[in-house]
Amino acid sequence: MKLHNISLGNLKRRKGKAFLLGIGLTVGVAVVVAMTGITSKMKLDVETKIDEYGANIIVAPKSEEISLIYGGVQVTDTSYGIEELKDSDVLKVWTIHNNKNISSVAPKTIGSYKISDISYLIVGVDFDSEFLIKKWWKWEGERPDSEYDIVVGSTAAGRLKLSPGSKISIAGKDFVVSSILYENASQDDISIFMNMKTAQQILKKEGRVSMIEVSALCIGCPIEEMVAQIGEKLPHAKVTPIRQAMTLRMQTVNQLMRFSVAVSIVVVIIGSLFVLISITSSVNERTKEIGIFRAIGFRRTHIITIIMTEAFVISLLSGIAGWIMGSLSVSFLALQMLGIEGIFYEPGMLAISVGMTLFVGLLSSLYPALKAAKLEPLEALRYI
Amino acid sequence: MMIELKSVKKIFNTDGVPFPALKDIDLILGRGDFAAIIGPSGSGKSTLLSIIGGITNPTSGTVIVDGILVHNLSSEQLSDFRSKYIGFVFQQFHLIPFLSALENVMLPLSITRKKDNEQKGLAMARLEDVGLKNKSHNLPSQLSGGEQQRVAIARAIVNEPPIIITDEPTGNLDSVTGEDIMNILTELNMKGHTVIIVTHDEKVASVTKRIISLNDGIMSFK
């Protein structure tokens, strides 16, 4: 027989009270896990949507000319009086101090070209970085994998009567349509995307870049600093951050996260009080029992050990149960609110849940345990 | 000499009003003594018992048990003293309701370094001494009053304490069962334990070798 046998025996005897205390702690933990989980899912969702939104930073030549416009960038037919961007400028972007925050650098050489008397935008790209940055692109066909594969916007394809696999001749060169983009209500619809070197040849802009789209990895990255750093590397370029549209949404998410933290703190405080009151009530009911223990030679530390062991067992089980309940809640809420399927499974959160519950449970039980230990046997036995 | 009380006084303060429970008690009990402390309700019997048993310290005076200055011991030292020297048997048995008879007897051993098997062996032996070996797995609620008191006695002696202190051991039992209990206590005394019984029952006291009378906190001997 050890002291923990006494603790476990008492929990078995007072199943109802132990269960109520456990349920209280479990629900508290579940609320904290659920709030933390769902706000982090929302944060991730917003960050993902920012990625899907495309570039955070646009690098373009400083220009006053007005011509065809792509992504807010002025596409000019002449190079007179303008210092254009070069192929080597693309590499310079990767050398900034915060280059670890860069997700993708997608250069473009843009120009207009007439096919059957209708002007279309020819956009020379690096397809790998372009597909990375344009996550909202949906297409019919295959991704281009050769120098003469092209991707055509929906409006352009309709006018030119193109479909995946069609052949088209542009500036005396034969191209194969690898894919047709679905309509996305942007200039992509009237664009023909091709290998950059090929586009530069057709547009007679060898080695020149019309604009560079830069995508930063996350919301927390220092966009303004990165803009300044790119500007330093490319003093002849106009570097512009694009964040306004997502700022409000992130403010909302951040407010929600702060609210989530506040609610979690309140839940923890209420949980602590609940444990304190429950254990104190339990100790009061066991005054006689404690008197017997003390009379037969139990020290104060033995009494404290018995009560704290009971608190430990309840807290441990509640932490685990609360994590399970909270995780299932997150999975359900993520599906309902964000359309995200799948079970929320964060093993790290289990350690935090159990740690937090043990901390709250043991700390709140300390006062009643000390109070019980201070009971003098004669005083306790008077209850007999 | 086993137990010596000299000029022991105990004053309780109830809501600021002092109440002298014991007044100048002088008492010597030898090893192997079998004594009864008798007196009416409120005479200070239980208080005297609790001082001898190290449950509470006197307000003044000295308490020496087996050479130990019990009145000078701290709370934790008193716990250790009780564990080693005293076996208590209460009027209302006071078994732990969610522990079996065997586990109740093992209770004093749970704070020793004895291993589980050794604890079990000692507890079963004591249950056998009191004739309850076949009810070791019964809960207190499944035992009669007499059986519960026998378990309480087994619990009191499992640590082999030299002194057994009982407070109205037959108070809640019928006469036949009470006689059984007194026989067990007599046997324990014959084995060398010092047994002190607090009782208001003259018949119970007559079984003992010494009768100490207590009235309004003042002692006299019969």
User: What is the structure's pLDDT at B81?
Assistant: 93
Question: Which residues are bridge partners to A69 per DSSP?
Answer: A74
Query: What's at B216, amino acid-wise?
Result: D
Task: Yes or no: say if A224 and A41 are a contact pair by the CB < 8 Å rule.
Answer: no
Which among B96, B103, B108 has CB closest to A289?
Answer: B96
- Count: domains in chain B: 1
Count of CB atoms situated within 10 Å of the CB of B122? 21
Confidence check: pLDDT of A76 > 80: no
Judge: B92–A295 Cβ closer than 8 Å, yes or no: no
- Count: domains in chain A: 2
Name the domain boundary from A218, A241, A264: A241
A39 & A143 share domain: no
Q: Distance from B110 to chain A by nearest Cα, in Å?
A: 5
Domain range enclosing B135: 3-221
* A2 Cβ under 8 Å from any chain B Cβ: yes
User: What is the structure's pLDDT at A80?
Assistant: 46
CATH number at residue B146: 3.40.50.300
User: What is the structure's pLDDT at A317?
Assistant: 94
**Segment A135-153, tens digit of pLDDT:** 889 999 999 999 999 999 9
**How many angstroms separate the CA atoms of B90 and B206, rounded?**
20
Beta strand B68-69 pairing with B60-65: antiparallel
Name the domain boundary from A188, A206, A241: A241
A192 & A60 share domain: yes
A154 & A37 share domain: no
Confidence check: pLDDT of A82 > 70: no
Confidence check: pLDDT of A245 > 60: no
**Segment B26-35, tens digit of pLDDT:** 999 999 999 9
Separation in Å, CA B16 to CA A273, B19, B44, B46, B138: 33, 9, 19, 22, 46
ipTM at complex level = 0.89
* B80 Cβ under 8 Å from any chain A Cβ: yes
**Segment A205-225, tens digit of pLDDT:** 999 999 999 987 655 567 788
Contacts A370 to B, Cβ<8 Å:
none
User: What is the structure's pLDDT at A383?
Assistant: 46
Q: Distance from A26 to chain B by nearest Cα, in Å?
A: 26
Judge: B94–A302 Cβ closer than 8 Å, yes or no: no
Name the domain boundary from A185, A218, A241: A241
Confidence check: pLDDT of A14 > 50: yes
A229 & A282 share domain: no
Contacts A297 to B, Cβ<8 Å:
79-84, 86, 108, 111, 159
A103 & A210 share domain: yes
Count of CB atoms situated within 10 Å of the CB of A116? 7
This prediction has a pTM of 0.69
- In chain A, residues 28-57 whose CB comes closer than 8 Å to chain B: none
A57-66, A184-193, A259-268: least confident range: A57-66
Judge: A296–B106 Cβ closer than 8 Å, yes or no: no
Judge: A2–B107 Cβ closer than 8 Å, yes or no: no
Confidence check: pLDDT of B119 > 60: yes
Please name the residue of chain A whose CA is at the shortest distance from the CA of residue B96: A289
Q: Is B41 helix (H, G, I), strand (E, B) or coil?
A: coil
Q: Is B76 helix (H, G, I), strand (E, B) or coil?
A: helix
Separation in Å, CA A367 to CA A84, A363, B57, B110, B212: 74, 8, 26, 24, 43
- For the residues B46-56, what does the mean pLDDT come to? 89
**Segment A91-118, tens digit of pLDDT:** 999 999 888 888 889 999 999 998 888 8
Residue of B52, B81, B98 to mutate, testing the A interface (most A Cβ within 10 Å of its Cβ): B98
Domain range enclosing A198: 56-241
